[in-house]
Chains A and B, each alone.
Chain A
Amino acid sequence: MSDARHEVDERWILRTELLWAFGVGVFIAAALGMILFTALTISVNPPSNVERIDPKALHLSGEFAEHNLGTTVSGDGTVIVRAIATQFMFVPQCIAVPANRRVTLRFASPDVIHGLLITGTNVNTMVIPGFVAQVHTEFTRTGDLLMPCHEYCGQGHSEMWATVQVLPENRFKPGSDGRVSCAQR
């Protein structure tokens, strides 16, 4: 191959590589821009919460004691759900939440690593003993949603699931203590 030909080819390859790098750069910028846009406009973020809790004393007192589990509506209207993921069940088994309202879900585990997702939503987190897993979300559709454990936690793992009952605002009625349970059917 002549030197001139070789030089032309090198220029062509360089141009192709620069064009490729530009295309990849545009895609990365667009993807990051989209993530940033949704984070700033509709608060879509990866759930992140580093909060320690003593897994050996979960049931004894404090936030995750049995009488505190379930859905609570505080005075300012904030909806907080507290649940324990344990071998091989979620406590409580059914969680009532309002539709189209911001909900804070808080989970803790006293034994091994669990995980959960709520079908048809973006709620998806691990529950690690010693930490509180916290997710903020808003349920857009009413009805019963399945909440299975998605982190293998032992022989009863496949039996470990709960129900999230998304109620319309007019049926989401907290009692005098601010607590809401699943509607009986």
Chain B
Amino acid sequence: MISADQSSAIDSDPEAADDVDEAALASVLRTVPLGAAVLAGSTVALLVIGYLIVYLLVFIPRGIVG
């Protein structure tokens, strides 16, 4: 049970709580797209490699079908 002197997170101003330096934020945002590209790129590359391994080493040697 919340007593009268306890403030909940809802009462606090979200803008005031987010006290981040503008320059630091800009610096982080500059590197984020690169990180996202590396993460997405390596994930997709792994999927493509998996697809190629299954297609070339499993599907094709199993013989024709049609």
Contact = CB atoms under 8 A, between A and B. Distances in A.
B39 interface: no
Given A20-B40, A34-B55, A1 B63 contact: no
Interface string A95-139: 000000000000000000000000011111000000000011111
B54 to A, nearest CB: 12
Main secondary structure of the interface of A (DSSP, over half): mixed
A152 interface: no
Contacts, number: 61
A138 B64 contact: yes
Contact of A13 (B33, B41, B44, B66): B33
Interface in A123-177: 123-124, 135-140
Contacts of B26: 1, 5
Interface residues of B, number: 21
Main secondary structure of the interface of B (DSSP, over half): helix
Given A31-B51, A34-B55, A44 B30 contact: no
Contacts of B30: 9
Given A9-B30, A16-B33, A27 B48 contact: yes
B59 A122 contact: yes
Contacts of B66: 43-47, 135-137
A50 interface: no
Given A5-B26, A31-B51, A44 B33 contact: no
Contacts of A20: 37, 40-41
Contact of B64 (A13, A16, A42): A42
Contacts of A78: none
A138 to B, nearest CB: 5
A60 to B, nearest CB: 31
B2 interface: no
Given A47-B65, A123-B65, A135-B65, 17 more contacts: A1-B22, A5-B26, A9-B30, A23-B44, A27-B48, A38-B60, A43-B66, A44-B66, A45-B66, A120-B62, A121-B63, A124-B65, A135-B66, A136-B64, A136-B65, A140-B61, A140-B63
Interface of A: 1, 5, 9, 12-13, 16, 19-20, 23-24, 27, 31, 34, 38, 42-47, 120-124, 135-140
